[in-house]
Amino acid sequence: MHLTIFGSGYVGLVTGACMAEMGNHVVCVDIDEDKIKRLNAGEVPIYEPGLSDYIARNREAGRLEFTTDVAKGVNHGLFQFIAVGTPPDEDGSADLSHVLAVARSIGEHMDDYRIVVDKSTVPVGTADKVKETIQAALQERGVKHECDVVSNPEFLKEGAAIDDFMKPDRIIIGTDNPRTTELLRALYEPFNRNHDRLISMDIRSAELTKYAANAMLATKISFMNELANIAEQFGADIENVRIGIGSDPRIGYHFIYPGAGYGGSCFPKDVRALAKAAADSGYEATLMEAVEAVNDRQKQRLFGKISSYFDGDLNGKTIALWGLSFKPKTDDMREASSRVLMEALWAAGASVRAYDPKAMDATRGLYPDAKGLVLCDSAHDALKGADALAIVTEWQEFRSPDFDAIKQELSAAVIFDGRNLYDPDALKALGLSYYAIGRSNEMTDVTQPHDRRKTDKVSSASFD
């Protein structure tokens, strides 16, 4: 089949590469000339495991093309996928300007029936706006062509995107025309072989399903973070609590990890956009607002612990930082917790020696002139000359580090772990102070006075 995909970011590239892998002929259109130039030169502008092989293989086979030529894209595909960004507007609502710009382009160039498939995460009612925009452009041209708009939200996870796309949990098709369901069923057939994963519904429900999924996942994280902070108040260990509640099949073990807050291009903006859209419709989404507020506070938590440890005086201190991307196996820095921590450290007069396996270029791009930032070649290099170590992203290579080296390099032999990677008892035995999330009754950022920390420093352990 012939497909066109507007937007060559995380979703567009993965969709394009996977659709081409199944034998379809895909044209990817992006307005970013530099990005298209790089893609046509064989470079992949983002890090996503397996993606560059898929792209190389399908370009070579002549099934995958990249262009800035909008007219070529509109003429190519029966299916016109929209996979452009929907970033947050200043008031938190989803900015639909890119989606509607694509709709307009389709209306300006289409000369036959088209199925417009919206993969971008968009508020309920957007499909109507897309259709109106296309029809207005057609009217301006004085031509009439049929067009259906379908909601087909994407559920891939960065870091596992190829796998998620090739073996989806579900394929949601929101449409008001049964014929398009059948055409999309045929398009998705190769991804749907083992058992039927296609769920067909009305357009508005499909649009809301994507927000509901992300809001649910964000709620689980904020719930656990709230519990972790309560555990610290009472001297309980959230990791024991996690295992205790996860054993209930109604709760389950998935996605109940406490940490330094969620980031990325989806959860923060989607929770905000859902709350804003609900408010605009006259409904106050109290839970969504709380989920966001808990997360904002959680992103400050690690800084609070570091600041308390150093008696509120971080001026001139150097913090080694492991992990910058918002989660492992991606280079995506959008709304990453590491940014909140680094910016708070700089504001307090500290500097940062940071290392991430994949997000170094993205970080350099975000902070080209930051004086308090040294980007290091390895996790070990980041420790050199630092006072303390903070861990924000749970990359696998941080899971079993050389603790002796950490102890030797750091002036304070202390680890602030935003992802609960280590066994507190083992670290205590090694003579390292260890502050994790929801595990230490030794000291918290706001509630525990520093004298306990001083006792801890003498004993070189935080879990007495």
Which residues share a beta bridge with 117? 81, 150
CA pair distance 268, 270, nearest whole angstrom: 6
Q: Please report how close the Cβ of residue 435 comes to ligand NAD at its closest, in angstroms.
A: 30
Question: Does residue number 137 form part of the binding site for ligand NAD (CB under 6 A)?
Answer: no
* 166 and 146 Cβ atoms separated by less than 8 Å: no
Piece of 24-32, 253-261, 312-320, 426-434 that binds ligand NAD (CB under 6 A): 24-32
Residue (153 or 401) nearer to ligand NAD, CB: 153
Piece of 5-13, 52-60, 297-305, 407-415 that binds ligand NAD (CB under 6 A): 5-13
Question: Does residue number 86 form part of the binding site for ligand NAD (CB under 6 A)?
Answer: yes
Q: Please report how close the Cβ of residue 361 comes to ligand NAD at its closest, in angstroms.
A: 15
The distance of Cα 296 from the centroid of its chain, to the nearest Å, equals 15
Instruction: Report strand pairing: 318-322 vs 198-201.
Output: unpaired
Piece of 97-105, 181-189, 410-418, 456-464 that binds ligand NAD (CB under 6 A): 97-105
Residue (154 or 394) nearer to ligand NAD, CB: 154
Residue (35 or 220) nearer to ligand NAD, CB: 35
Question: Does residue number 30 form part of the binding site for ligand NAD (CB under 6 A)?
Answer: yes
Residue (118 or 409) nearer to ligand NAD, CB: 118
Q: What is the DSSP string of 48-70?
A: -TTHHHHHHHHHHTT-EEEES-H
Contacting residue, 4, 8, 151, 337, with ligand NAD by CB under 6 A: 8
Question: Does residue number 366 form part of the binding site for ligand NAD (CB under 6 A)?
Answer: no
Residue (10 or 257) nearer to ligand NAD, CB: 10
| Residues in region 255-314 near ligand NAD by CB under 6 A | 265-266
- Active-site position among 28, 147, 266, 376: 266
Q: Please report how close the Cβ of residue 105 comes to ligand NAD at its closest, in angstroms.
A: 7
Residue (8 or 433) nearer to ligand NAD, CB: 8
Piece of 30-38, 284-292, 303-311, 315-323 that binds ligand NAD (CB under 6 A): 30-38
Piece of 80-88, 179-187, 237-245, 340-348 that binds ligand NAD (CB under 6 A): 80-88
* 28 and 49 Cβ atoms separated by less than 8 Å: no
CA pair distance 435, 462, nearest whole angstrom: 7
Residue (8 or 420) nearer to ligand NAD, CB: 8
The distance of Cα 77 from the centroid of its chain, to the nearest Å, equals 29
Cβ atoms within 10 Å of 92's Cβ, excluding its own: 17
Instruction: Return the residue nearest ligand NAD (CB atom).
Output: 9
Rg (CA), the chain: 24
Give me the 155-174 binding string for ligand NAD, x by CB under 6 A, dash otherwise: -x-x----------------
Cβ atoms within 10 Å of 396's Cβ, excluding its own: 9
Give me the 101-130 binding string for ligand NAD, x by CB under 6 A, dash otherwise: xx-----------------xx---------
The CA-based diameter of the chain, rounded to the nearest angstrom, is 81
| Torsion angles phi and psi, residue 16, rounded to 5 | -60, -50
Residue (105 or 222) nearer to ligand NAD, CB: 105
Contacting residue, 4, 12, 433, 437, with ligand NAD by CB under 6 A: 12
Q: Which two tokens stand for residue 172?
A: 């949601």
Residue (32 or 381) nearer to ligand NAD, CB: 32
| Residues in region 397-456 near ligand NAD by CB under 6 A | none
Which residues share a beta bridge with 353? 320, 374
Residue 266 among the catalytic residues: yes
Contacting residue, 3, 4, 6, 267, with ligand NAD by CB under 6 A: 6
Q: Please report how close the Cβ of residue 39 comes to ligand NAD at its closest, in angstroms.
A: 10
Which residues share a beta bridge with 415? 389, 434
Q: How far is CA 314 from CA 135, 249, 310, 452, in A?
A: 59, 45, 6, 19
Q: What is the DSSP string of 85-103?
A: --PBPTTSSB--HHHHHHH
Q: Which two tokens stand for residue 121?
A: 């995460």
Contacting residue, 17, 27, 80, 85, with ligand NAD by CB under 6 A: 85
Angle at 228 between CA 254 and CA 455, to 5 degrees: 135
Binding site for ligand NAD (CB under 6 A): 6-12, 29-32, 35, 83-86, 98, 101-102, 120-121, 154, 156, 158, 265-266
Active site residues: 266
